Amino acid sequence: MDKVSRSSKIIFAFGGLGKDAMFAMSTIMFFYFVNLIGISAAFIGIMFMVVRIWDAVNDPVMGGIVSNTHTRMGKFRPWILIGSGLNAIILVFVFLNPNLAPDSIRMLVYVTVFYTLWGMTYTLMDIPFWSMIPALSQSQRERENITVLTRFFTSIGFFIISAAYLDLAKFLGGGETTRHQITGLFWLSLIVSVVFFLSELLLVLKVRERVVPKSQEKITIRKMFSLIRKNDQLSVVMIVVLIANFVLYITSNMAIFFITYDIGNQGLFFIFIGLGGVLQVVGALCFPLIRGFLKRKQIFNASIALQIIGFVLLFTNAFVLDNVVALVFALGALVFFGQGLQMVLQTVLLSDTVEYGEYKLGERTEGLAFAVQTFIVKLAMGLSLGVTGIGLDLFGFVAEVDDMPQPQAQATLYAMRVMMFVLPVIGLLLSLYIFNKKHTLDERRYADIVEILKGRGTYDQEAFEL
């Protein structure tokens, strides 16, 4: 009754591959603007943080728009199509170097405008993309299967770009100089934009919503924020995911600097991030197996514990053993595997808050629930980029000169280690406490809520038919 066809699952998941390849391009923008274009790290860090926070604040508004959308194509697919088309075009302009002086007003305005537009257009498709999962099935297991497959594909898309962008930039640009890498990243942005749009177009044409609530009154902006505030389980998941993503992005932002300047071998970056991508995929794929004998809360606690152990031992390796490379990879594996489990969990936990909110508040708002995910991902990225940019500038980071990495002061290297290993541990301990203290929507309670909603006659009959 609630089973989704295999082809729909695969096509939806493939849309995730293109989507996160696009998102990965945003994670290398800091490196592109600072190391290649030569703009101040402090300016880029602060600008990224402000723009991300501004963009994040707009996400609930977009979620409300999605929840109020009623077309022949459904709620979600029109926005996925529009957003992916616009976002693909904007990405090309982000990496189209206008050849202006790095710290000139015109260059700073250009970078700020197109970075802002990139974030806003990405929102147009990202919120409806994730919001479709609760509309595909009400079965927890089916949602978990869809989420695991989608996270598998998103991890592939993300890590193909984030691990290989340096080598791809040199290959596509025809050389290793800064000028060649700038050219190469422009061509990479063009390729990613095409793959991204085509993957979303296939999703729009082939995947349809199946859980269709009966018509409800339009949700105003004021009511929208009230619904988010009153859905206590959504708020709990929101805080936990914010902290988890802050940890993830601090690690990914600092990895290139840590490996290049502290370990002293930039060539290891591709291997390290590639290993991370593989282990995150393995973690995601192991979720259904682990789910067979552990409850969700137990899996969450295990995923956090693995990351904390990994970060503590990485910190010890850095300060006591002076970065034994083999240990960096082995201990990083613990962190990446835990993150893979956690990424699946955060999506399925958010999916469950849709029915919980409908049960408690009388409104079904998938768009709002997953606007929260996009909001917190962007907020976490903005905060992490701000911390990275300000931290590097504050502790005297010296950017490349004539395509050559420069020696860094010992204090700068120590600061990198603290940002890479200590801040994540603090965040993870906090998320562990909040989740175990406040999250109450377990498997049994969710099943009871779904039965109550079916008894109310909330959905059109075709919502439960293949």
Residues 32-78: tens digit of each pLDDT: 998 899 898 888 888 988 887 787 677 667 766 776 767 777 788 89
Whole-number Å distance between alpha carbons of 376 and 56: 7
Q: What is the average pLDDT score of the chain?
A: 84
Mean predicted confidence (pLDDT) in 334-338: 93
Q: What pLDDT, on a 0 to 100 scale, did the predictor assign at position 392?
A: 81
Which structural domain range is residue 226 located in? 6-206+220-457
Q: What residue has token string 């514990």?
A: 305
For 234-280, the pLDDT digits (tens) are 889 888 888 888 877 888 778 888 898 889 888 888 888 888 888 98
Residue 404, SS3 per DSSP: strand
Q: Cβ–Cβ contacts within 10 Å for residue 206, how many?
A: 15
Q: What pLDDT, on a 0 to 100 scale, did the predictor assign at position 462?
A: 42
Q: Cβ–Cβ contacts within 10 Å for residue 71, how many?
A: 10
Is 462 domain-assigned?
no
Residue 1 has pLDDT above 50, yes or no: no
**pLDDT band of 368, cuts 50, 70, 90:** low
Domain count, the chain: 1
Whole-number Å distance between alpha carbons of 115 and 231: 32
Is 213 domain-assigned?
no
Residue 93 has pLDDT above 90, yes or no: yes
Whole-number Å distance between alpha carbons of 251 and 246: 9
Q: What pLDDT, on a 0 to 100 scale, did the predictor assign at position 332?
A: 92
Is 391 domain-assigned?
yes
Residue 104, SS3 per DSSP: coil
Q: What pLDDT, on a 0 to 100 scale, did the predictor assign at position 215?
A: 45
- The domain that contains 133 carries what CATH number? 1.20.1250.20
Residues 6+ away with beta carbon under 8 Å from 263: 323, 325, 328
**pLDDT band of 217, cuts 50, 70, 90:** very low
For 438-463, the pLDDT digits (tens) are 999 988 898 888 888 877 765 443 43
Is 463 domain-assigned?
no
Is 19 domain-assigned?
yes
**pLDDT band of 400, cuts 50, 70, 90:** low
For 136-146, the pLDDT digits (tens) are 877 777 878 88
Is 426 domain-assigned?
yes
Q: What pLDDT, on a 0 to 100 scale, did the predictor assign at position 404?
A: 67
Is 105 domain-assigned?
yes
Q: What residue has token string 């994670």?
A: 27
Residue 213, SS3 per DSSP: strand
Is 392 domain-assigned?
yes
Residues 6+ away with beta carbon under 8 Å from 102: 37, 38, 39
H helix count then E strand count, the chain: 16, 0
Residue 289 has pLDDT above 50, yes or no: yes
pLDDT > 90 fraction of the chain, expressed in percent and rounded: 32
